Structure 1
Amino acid sequence: MRIIAGKAGRIAIKVPKAVTRPTTDFVRQAVFSILGVRVQDSRILDLFAGSGALGLEALSRGATSCVFVDEHRAVEKVLHENLAKSRLEGGRVVKADVHAWVTRDVGSYDLIFVDPPYAKFPSDRDHLKELFAKGALAERLAEEGLMVMEQSIGEPVREGEGFTFLERREYGSSAILLYAKAVPS
C-alpha cells in the first residue's frame, strides 16, 4: 500500500492486516479523481479508518485536517506510524467505537469517508444501517460537504435521513456511493 499523490505521494504505508480490508490503490485513485479540487483545504473525517489510506491520501493532496476513527488498538498504532512516516500534518487518531464517537462528536467535516467492514454473514453487524438510523452522521457533514461510502458491490444503495444519494460507481468488488447533505424542506 502507498499514498498515491500529493506531498507524500509514493510513500508506503502499513496495513494492520488482521482487522482491515484496505481500499485498493485503484479505488482510491478513482475516489480522488471524483473529488478533484474539493479535497484542497478540506476537513476530513475517516470512519473505520483501518490503515488510514483515504485520510492520508486526502492530507497528502492538501486537506487541512483529518480525524481517523477506528476501535482497534492495532489500527491505532499503525495510524500513528503512518502519520509519522508520511510527515503529514493535521491528522488526529481516535481509538473509539465509530457509532458511539459520531454521536459525541461536534465537528463539521467537508468530506466524510465511511468504509466499514463488509458484512459477510446475515448475523454480522450492519454498520451502514446503524449509522444511517442514528442520524448523528448527517449532523457531522458540512452544508456543502460530501460523504463517500465504500461497500461491497452486492449491497444495495443505502438511504438515510439527512442525506441525499448522488451517485454509485463500481470498481471490481467495491461500490463507491456519494451522498450530500439533504436540504431541509
Structure 2
Amino acid sequence: MRVIAGSAKRLQLKTLDGLETRPTTDRIKETLFNMIAPFLYDCVFLDLFSGSGGIGIEALSRGAKEAVFVEKNPKAMECIKSNLKTTRLEKKALTLTKDVMAALYCLEGERTFDYIFMDPPYHQELEREVLHYLKDSELVYEDTVIIVEAAKDTDFSYIEDFGYAVIKTKEYKTNKHVFLERAGKEEIC
C-alpha cells in the first residue's frame, strides 16, 4: 500500500499482518480520491476505523489541514503513527486509540469535520450505529460529506429515516462507497 498523490506521493505505508484490518486497495483509494480531491484542500478529515491510516494519510498528503484517526486496536494505531512519521504528516494528525463511539463522544464540541470516512468491519451494522449518532451531532455541519465503505450487499435503506441524502454510490467488485450528506440542504442557483 502506498500514498497515491500529494506531498507524500509514492511513499510505502505499513499495514498489519493478518486479517485484523482490510486496507483499501490502491486502485479503490485512487478512485475515491479522484472524486473528492478538488475539495480536500484545507479541510478537516475524520478517519474512523482507521486500520493502517491509509485513507486519512492520503487526505493529508493531498492538502487536508488536519486528520483525526480513530482506531481501537493498539497494534493498528502503532502502524498509523509509524505511517504518519514516514510521511512526515504527524503534525497535522490527531490519533485516538479508542472505540469509535467513545471517540465521537470525546470529539463532540471540539471540532466539525468536512469529511468523515468510515470503513467498519463488514456485516456488523457498525456504520448504522455511527450514522445514527452523527445525525444529531455537532461534528457534522450542512456541508459535511460522510463516506462509508461497506460490503456491496450492505443495506442502507434506513438512510432517509436518519435524515441523510445519498449523494452518490460507487460500487466495486465486492464493496462500495456510499457518499452521504444531511438531507434538506438547499441548493443556491
Asked if TM exceeds 0.5, the reply is yes
Provide closer, same or farther for how the CA distance between residues 73 and 33 of structure 1 changes in structure 2, counting only shifts above 3 A: same
**2:42 partner amino acid:** D
Alpha-carbon contact 2:117-2:146 (below 8 Å) kept: yes
Give the letter aligned to residue 94 of structure 2: R
Mapped to 1, the partners of 2:144 and 2:133 lie a distance apart of 19
Q: Which residue of 2 aligns with 1:47?
A: 48
1:65-104 residue pairs with structure 2 within 5 A? 65-88=66-89, 89-104=91-106
Q: Is residue 117 from structure 1 mapped to residue 121 from structure 2 by the alignment?
A: yes
Q: Displacement, 1:138?
A: 4.7
1:57–1:79 Cα change, 3 Å: same
Aligned to 1:149: 148
The alignment partner of 2:35 has SS state of helix
Identity %: 31
- Preserved contact between residue 134 and residue 140 of structure 2 (Cα < 8 Å): no
* In structure 2, distance between residues paired with 1:22 and 1:137: 29
Structure 1 residues 87 and 144, CA gap change in structure 2 (3 angstroms): same
Show the counterpart of 2:36.
35
Give, in angstroms, the shift of residue 174 of structure 1. Answer: 1.5
Write the distance in 2 (CA, Å) between the matches of 1:154 and 1:167.
Answer: 16
The residue that corresponds to 2:17 in the other structure is 17
**TM-score, normalization: structure 2?**
0.88
Give structure 2 stretches of 5+ with no counterpart. Answer: none
Task: Give aligned pairs, total.
Answer: 180
Question: 1:182 is matched with which residue?
Answer: 183
Structure 1 unaligned residues grouped into runs of 5+: 120-124
Could you tell me which residue of structure 2 aligns to residue 122 of structure 1?
none
Cα distance, 1:46 vs structure 2: 0.2
In 2: Cα distance, 1:165 partner to 1:137 partner = 17
Q: Which residue of 2 aligns with 1:7?
A: 7
**Change beyond 3 A, Cα 1:184–1:25:** closer
Question: What is the identity, as a one-letter code, of the residue corresponding to 2:154?
Answer: E
| TM-score, normalised with respect to structure 1 | 0.90
